[in-house]
Amino acid sequence: MNEVEELVVDLGERSYQILVGGGLIENGGTLIKPLIRHQHSIVITDQHLKNSGHLDALTSSLGNVGIEHHPFVLPPGEQTKSLEMFAELADGILQLGIERGTSIIALGGGVIGDLAGFLGATLLRGLDVIQLPTTLLAQVDSSVGGKTGINSTHGKNLIGSFHQPKLVLADIGVLDSLPARQLRAGYAEVLKYGLINRPGFFDWLEQKGQAIIAGDTDARRYAVIESCRAKAEIVEEDERESGRRALLNLGHTFGHALETMTGYGQELLHGEAVAIGMVLAFKLSASRGHCPQDDVHRVVNHLKTVDLPTSARTLQTEITADAVIAAMSRDKKVEAGTPRFVLTEGIGRAFAGVQIERAELEAFLQSELD
């Protein structure tokens, strides 16, 4: 194995380790074996990971240490995170005659991790889940913290539960084969941690962002472990999002609205929507006098250097203030019909739970979208 960093998410009896480094998939069996209760497992993955050989690398390593494994290879893409796919998989897995001690191993990006996590949360009222995230976004966000779920026809992630994994193995070697656009989109979530409460990390990302995108292994390892550390600290304080965890939604209230309007497809990836959303959160904060303009400029300039979008004006879909507000009011984080925003006093000084009057929001969005 190459150099590996580790940290523990400290949640009492639900604590678990996150390992970040190279060679973790091909050594997965050895790393997973001490944790699993029965030596059989269900591996949930997608066709890309089968085609790229990562599934074979994992199943060989499981076989080498005597862990039985049954793979389910799913179509890649957001449509896989559906109720229909959940039902099909649940039946398929139960048909194998699993027991409480069977583990679910998720090898994939956010879609696979969320779906496999939700299967783990629900089958037999809870199976152990091991996450092997294979996108930057999944490594720094969705595989950590225990949010699991699937989409409904009424919206994204509306059916789900909290179910912490037993182990997260973030193999940074797989990032080498990730399409550059996906990698940049994941980088937006890395940047988010600097903007929330780690100004020193943001300074470092200003220096290293382009190297992370270009493939610098040491910089990638540090960016992933530091992001996981930032997320772990927040999750440890507020596992079920009754308070501080809402900070992790910086940029997401605007971002989810933009994703809804662009149809969750190739026009705007999740991380790209978050990048634009973070800029809007900084600009809204500045317009209310919370945040210095210089910090807005630093954020926008940095996003530009890593080729992430900074404005909804460049999207093909026409984005109007009314439509953004309508989409935001359907977000699952709405309280009493009103979205809550994460705003900021500057880089690394975000605060959550802000309600904004419709007239103010409309005027702000009109000025940003016209």
Q: Which residues bind ligand GLY (CB under 6 A)?
A: 141, 145, 147, 245, 248
Torsions phi, psi for 44 (to 5 deg):
-110, 125
The residue from 69, 231, 298, 302 that is catalytic is: 231
Q: How far is the CB of 339 from ligand GLY (least distance, A)?
A: 16
Instruction: Decide if 231 is catalytic.
Output: yes
Query: Which of these, 134, 101, 149, 153, lies nearest to 25 by C-alpha position?
Result: 134
Among the listed residues 48, 221, 256, 283, the single catalytic one is: 256
Annotated catalytic residue within 40, 54, 192, 270: 270
Cα atoms in the 13 Å half-sphere on the side-chain side of 28: 28
- The most distant pair of C-alpha atoms in the chain lies apart, rounded to whole Å, by 62
Active site residue 270: yes
**Chain residue at closest Cβ approach to ligand GLY:** 248
Helices (H), 104-161: 110-122, 136-137
Active-site residue flag, 256? yes
Q: Is 105 left (phi over 0), alpha (psi -120 to 50) or beta?
A: beta
Q: Where are the beta strands (DSSP E) in 153-302?
A: 155-162, 167-171
Beta-bridged to residue 167, according to DSSP, are 17, 130
Closest distance to ligand GLY from the beta carbon of 231 (Å) = 7
Residue 127 vs 248, nearer CB to ligand GLY:
248
Per the annotation, the verdict on 125 as an active-site residue is yes
* DSSP letter assigned to residue 242: S
50 is catalytic: no
Residue 38 vs 333, nearer CB to ligand GLY: 333
Catalytic residue flag (residue 290): no
Report the DSSP beta bridge partners of residue 104: 42, 129
Whichever of 173 and 255 has its CB closer to ligand GLY, that residue is 255
* Catalytic residue chosen out of the listed positions 27, 151, 249, 283: 249
Is 99 annotated as catalytic? no
Rounded to the nearest 5°, which phi and psi values hold at 337? 80, 0
Active site residue 252: yes
Q: Is 330 a catalytic residue?
A: no
Contact 76, 47 (CB under 8 A): yes
Q: How large is the C-alpha radius of gyration of the chain? A: 20
Q: How far is the CB of 13 from ligand GLY (least distance, A)?
A: 20
* Nearer to ligand GLY among residue 228 and residue 365 (C-beta): 228
Q: At its nearest, how many Å lie between ligand GLY and the CB of residue 316?
A: 27
From the list 81, 192, 229, 252, the catalytic residue is: 252
CA angle 145, 133, 218 (to 5 degrees): 100
Query: By C-beta, is 28 or 186 nearer to ligand GLY?
Result: 186
> CB of residue 245 vs ligand GLY: minimum separation in angstroms?
5
Instruction: Give catalytic residues, as residue numbers.
Output: 125, 147, 189, 231, 241, 245, 249, 252, 256, 270
